[in-house]
Amino acid sequence: MVERVLAAGGFTMSRINEGGFADAERVATRLGTTLKRIRVDRGLSQEQVAQAAGIATYTCGCLERGQSPSGGSANPTLMTLMRVFHALEVAPPELPV
C-alpha cells in the first residue's frame, strides 16, 4: 500500500532510499509555495492563518519556505497540515490508495 501512495506522488522506494532527502526537500518547497499562494490569493496574512490554525506565525512562515523551525526541510505533522488546510478553507489533497 505504501508503494502505491508513493507511486501516486511520482516516488518509488528506490528513489526514496537513494535520494529521498532531495525529494523530501522538493516536496516541502512545493507545498510551502502552494500554501503561500493560496494564502495570498485569499488576502490573508501569515498571522491570520497561524491564529486560525493554532500555530505560531513563525511556524507558518517556515512552512511557506519549506523549512522546519529548527532548520532543514519542513516536516509538519499531519495535524498541523490539517489545521492549516482548515484555516485556508481548502480540502486536503486526495491520494489514491
Predicted confidence (pLDDT) at residue 21 exceeds the cutoff of 90: no
The SS3 call for residue 67 is strand
Contacts 24+ apart (CB under 8 A), 4-10: 4/96, 4/97, 5/95, 5/96, 5/97, 8/95, 8/96, 9/95
Q: What pLDDT does 1 receive? A: 44
The per-residue pLDDT for 5 is 45
Q: What is the CATH code for 2-88?
A: 1.10.260.40
The predicted-structure confidence for 47-93, as pLDDT tens digits, reads as follows: 999 999 999 999 999 999 999 888 888 888 999 999 999 999 998 87
Every domain of the chain and the residues it spans? 2-88
- The answer, yes or no, to whether residue 45 has pLDDT greater than 60, is yes
